[in-house]
Amino acid sequence: MRGLFLTIVILFLLIFTFLAGIGSGLLISGGSSFTSGDKVAVLRVEDVIIDSQIYLESIDAIAKDDNVKALVVRIDSPGGSVGPSQEIYSELKKLGKELPIVASIGGVGASGGYYIACATEKIYANPGSITGSIGVIAQFASYEKLLDWAKIDVEVIKSGKYKDVGSPFREMDETDKQYIQELIDNVYSQFKSVVASSRDLGTEQVDSIAEGKIYTGEQALNLKLIDELGTINDAVSEAGKLGGIEGEPNVINFPKKKFSFQDLLNSKFDTSLLTGIPTKSRFGLFYLVDIIN
């Protein structure tokens, strides 16, 4: 009898967990996906950008939905890896040829987040939003002295002089630093070129503001880095008008991801305490504002 009771309790808990999971997934993915008629899609780019796949899949789904007449890219991100940021930017530029795209910067839309905003035809931000941070960063930790203290030797066998650049097992020499600086300068030039072309700014003007500085939304408006001060509701309203939607538009949210405890752990704790660089991709170049440390 006791065994039967335990079986019933376990089954009840499993069913409850399953239903709760479905509910959480619907809440996070946005129940508005079931609305009909003309829609404005909202693509939420959040947290540190390490992997672009979920955003690329969302952009593809938006492009295939004939009922979506406009897109708002809602950005709450300090940036992230250069490659994924550029991929999202490129796919948005392609989609922009088919439908109007507006950006809305929430709390932070800086560095790689701002890079993505530059793919849109109009950028909104709140007066106190943090944006800008036009620049590139690479950070490396050296454990050489720690290894010496612990009397641990590390043998490295490599095929070329620069194969272990950035290794934590040795300090970088001046040649290494110059090599990394050349990479950073090249990617930095790419960033400035995107800002200049998307914001219709001259090279000298971009150089004067592209020093890695962050700006409030109000300052960014004066510097022509954004177009309007306003909320996400203002951005959705404007996108609806640009998309030819009469009245208040229906909104559909992306990405449509299901919640998992592992996702929560990855998004909130997957950073290095020593460097602030995400542990999944600690080596690399980043469009990343450093105010989060």
Ordered by start, the domain boundaries in the chain are: 29-292
pTM (two decimals): 0.79
Q: Catalytic annotation on 111?
A: yes
**pLDDT for residue 288:** 74
- Which residue is catalytic, options 58, 81, 85, 111? 111
Contacts of 249 (CB under 8 A, 6+ apart): 38, 39, 40, 69, 70, 236, 237, 239, 240, 243
**pLDDT for residue 280:** 45
- Which residue is catalytic, options 158, 163, 224, 280? 163
Note the pLDDT tens digit of each residue in 85-124.
999 999 999 999 999 999 999 999 999 999 999 999 999 9
Report which secondary-structure segment, H or E, holds 158.
none
CA distance 92 to 286: 20
Protein fold of 29-292: 2-enoyl-CoA Hydratase; Chain A, domain 1 (3.90.226)
Question: Cα 248 from chain centroid?
Answer: 28
**pLDDT for residue 282:** 45
Whether 71 and 236 have beta carbons less than 8 Å apart is answered as: no
Residues in the chain: 293
CA distance 14 to 17: 5
CA distance 134 to 209: 8
Structure tokens at 205: 């003007």
Stretches in the chain below the pLDDT threshold 50: 5, 9, 18-33, 264, 267-275, 277, 279-282, 292-293
**pLDDT for residue 106:** 96
At residue 212, what are phi and psi to the nearest 5 degrees? 85, 0
List, in sequence order, the alpha helices (H) in 38-151. Answer: 53-64, 82-95, 112-117, 144-149
Nearest to 238 by CA among 81, 55, 11, 70: 70
Q: What is the pairing mode between strands 122-125 and 214-216? A: unpaired
**pLDDT for residue 274:** 44
Structure tokens at 229: 């001060």
DSSP state of 106: E
Helices (H) then strands (E): counts for the chain: 10, 10
Q: For 122, how many CA atoms within 13 A lie in the half-sphere containing its CB?
A: 22
CA distance 145 to 147: 5
Nearest to 31 by CA among 240, 236, 237, 253: 253
Structure tokens at 48: 């540190």
Structure tokens at 156: 């490295």
